[in-house]
Structure 1
Amino acid sequence: MSHDDVGARMRARIGALLERLVESGQENGLQVAVHLHSELIVDACAGDASPGRAVAPDTLIHSFSLGKGFTATLVHILADRGLIDYDTPIAHYWPEFGAHGKDRATVRHALTHATGVPQLPAAITPAELCDWDTMCTIVAAQEPLWEPGTASGYHGWTFGWILGETVRRITGLTPAEALRSYVAEPLGVADELFYGLPESELARTAPLVEGDWAAYLESLPPSVPFVRLIAPNRSVWTTAELANRRDYLLADLPAGGTTTARAAARMYAALLGEVDGVRLLTPERTRLASAVAVDGKDRTFLGRSTKGLGYFLGLPEMARETTSFGHHGSGGSIAFADRERGLSFALTRTRLVSPEVDTGRVLANEVRSLVSQPGSHAL
């Protein structure tokens, strides 16, 4: 089957599937984008962004930890340019972070969720969460729960400040400015790939709605580390209530991101090869960033987790294949690159759902089934 035939079949199948999901009431608003061998072949959407306003390809959707993939990419670009070194202690760039034995924590540890500081103070508020200087002071002063580098446990919120402040100290740019300069502008998506939004973009952003995600979080025992450490009180749970706050959407939070599916898929495509003449990383850097760095029990999730440098590998949406790398977001968004197939995929969504709702896996499997020859674009 020719490349054009694959694209035509995929557009028809994915478009019809999105419409069925919305018409059934299972979903509210969806975007799916697919690049194959660096070419955008699917840019589909369905449903409503808000009453009377349909989701469009350029509708912005807050997608929580999808943005961690943006942050990892930004760090690797700086590494490619010799501005940051994975095995240099974070305290070399940000001296205050070295408190309480964290002077041995490296950039590599931060990328692999191994610095030992996934926790937030129990009484943390959304207003504090949105204040960069306040949060960097809090994170720098944290005592690690384990010796840095000896274990990995998902750093849900703190990943963003640890790496974001390191980037700021190195470049002199805020994380939002650095993301724009090093990632979004070169890719031509400066108006679609964000941490915090410019105020002018709020009107383009679809409000999130709750499916069963908040109920899923509510069902977790308080002793579970994900609740006890990462989101220690309900006001900072990754729910629609938080994501629809104006101050939250405007805040520079590199643990999350607001984007379109096509911008996220374009970023991952530019990690695999050139997209309109732009390649974000050298092939060697992409191989290094997406290789297995951690494979074992995650102290936050309490299950096995395979991680590269800042990306997850082998998630369910990736068919458990560790040759795929990317990041998911609370409530069911996902974006990743498939090195074996030369494929990048992104799903953004307005309805937040529990892990039991497998829309992302179903859509990604559909895409994979139409790409007939694995290995044709392997890195």
Structure 2
Amino acid sequence: MEVSGYCAPGFESLFGVFADNFRERGDTGAALAVQQHGETIVSLWGGSANREGDVAFSEDTIANVFSSSKGVLATLALQQVAAGKLELDRPVADYWPEFGQRGKERVTLRQLLSHRSGVVAFQDKVADDLIYDWDAACAQVAASAPWWEPGSRQGYAPFLYGWTVGGLLERATATPLAQLYRQGLAEPLELHGGFGAFGHRSAQVADVGPLKKPLPELRENAISRAIKADRTSAVAMAFSNPVSLVMGTNSHAWREAMIPAANGHFSALDLAVLYGELAREDATLLPRELIREAGSEQSSGQDAVLQAEVSFGCGFIRSGSAADLRFGGPQGFGHPGAGGSVGFADPERELGFGYVSTRLGQSLFMDGRAVSLLQQLYGML
């Protein structure tokens, strides 16, 4: 399998580790990118972008990165805080009156971004096609009750995060979310992808599918056990109400929809460029004080949905001591996605990292593919 791309002098050994992910860890189409001090020091890609294996993966191939999308959405939210359109600690209902019902009257943007709102899943059974209707999904979120008193517990919102934060952004700015993304991030950073798969700079969309052979787990993934224990719990409903949330991710309907917590389609270079900008001392995407909010602890502990210890900043997961959540140094912040993609910023080294793959693993956070690349990279820094 041929690896294409570039490594700056001193980083050439990443070619071999990236190739090992194909030979030993099941990758069939993937890309890795690293930016430091505003320069691309690594951009590698290889394999195929489609299921038939006859379309080569390229530097600008975009793939569904699932929850890695959340960091992009959080950046847009913080941009609107910087612009004075939003305040982190002001009730969402001040901007979106319909949201202020059923116990959500005092929920704030900070609580949404740090997963302390209690709005983690639809409690009422919803139609399978709801997720493909942006306006209907936002309306359903506004009408939903939190699972517990907002602010009292940390509970990750795998899908509703996108409709709560995205819906708030549209109402606070009177601007469609896709336009906010284009103006705030895609155009200034020349990103290849975006939310959904269509209408972006890159027209090559990779098909995704499961790894043919599971990778060794870096930690126990307790979500499945929690779902089996109680099919009506917040954990179960967060991932299966509706069931279309975990089905059809290569379908035209999924790729055409606006599901900003989970159907972002980005290249590895997109993630590295975005996080590389956030990591720079002279960052222009956000004021320095808001970048500190992004990476500083807003909530931590045993997450009621993820069933694991997690520390959140404002919209991002914070770097931890475990290998599958170690985003560079202790100031690092970013977001992994289901299947193995990840993007993060390491402000200590002014570094942005992005990895995407067409083969989806079952790990809760990063798996052995991204971890092996990170370990090699940081051994050379």
Note the aligned Cα RMSD (angstroms).
2.7
Superposed, 1:152-167 pairs within 5 Å as 152-167=154-169
Higher helix share: 1
Superposed, 1:1-379 pairs within 5 Å as 8-9=8-9, 11-24=11-24, 26-50=26-50, 51-121=53-123, 123-189=125-191, 192-198=192-198, 204-211=204-211, 221-223=228-230, 227-232=235-240, 235-238=243-246, 241-256=247-262, 257-273=264-280, 279-315=284-320, 316-318=324-326, 321-355=329-363, 357-371=367-381
Tell me the distance in 1 between the aligned counterparts of 2:108 and 2:226.
35
For the 8 Å contact 1:193–1:264, the answer to whether it is kept is: no
SS of the equivalent of 1:263 reads: helix
* Amino acid of the structure 2 residue aligned with 1:34: V
Distance 1:206 1:97, change over 3 A: same
Per-residue Cα deviation, 1:6-31 (whole angstroms, up to 9, x for no partner): 95355522222222321346111111
Per-residue Cα deviation, 1:81-107 (whole angstroms, up to 9, x for no partner): 111100010001110111112011001
Unaligned runs of 5+ in 1: 1-5, 372-379
Query: How far off is 1:121 after superposition?
Result: 4.7
For the 8 Å contact 1:69–1:311, the answer to whether it is kept is: yes
Distance 1:287 1:201, change over 3 A: closer
Query: How far off is 1:203 after superposition?
Result: 5.0
* Amino acid of the structure 1 residue aligned with 2:291: T
Tell me the distance in 2 between the aligned counterparts of 1:219 and 1:212.
25
Unaligned runs of 5+ in 2: 1-5, 216-222
For the 8 Å contact 1:260–1:348, the answer to whether it is kept is: yes
Tell me the distance in 1 between the aligned counterparts of 2:243 and 2:8.
44
SS of the equivalent of 1:83 reads: coil
Query: How far off is 1:338 after superposition?
Result: 0.9
Distance 1:34 1:320, change over 3 A: closer
For the 8 Å contact 2:34–2:354, the answer to whether it is kept is: yes
Number of positions where the alignment pairs a residue of Structure 1 with one of Structure 2: 360
Q: Runs ≥4 in structure 1, deviation > 6 angstroms? A: 212-216
For normalisation by structure 1, the TM-score amounts to 0.87
Query: How far off is 1:223 after superposition?
Result: 2.6
Tell me the distance in 1 between the aligned counterparts of 2:361 and 2:329.
23
Worse-superposed segment, 349-358 or 205-214: 205-214
Percent of pairs identical after alignment?
29
Query: How far off is 1:218 after superposition?
Result: 9.1
Tell me the distance in 1 between the aligned counterparts of 2:290 and 2:304.
28
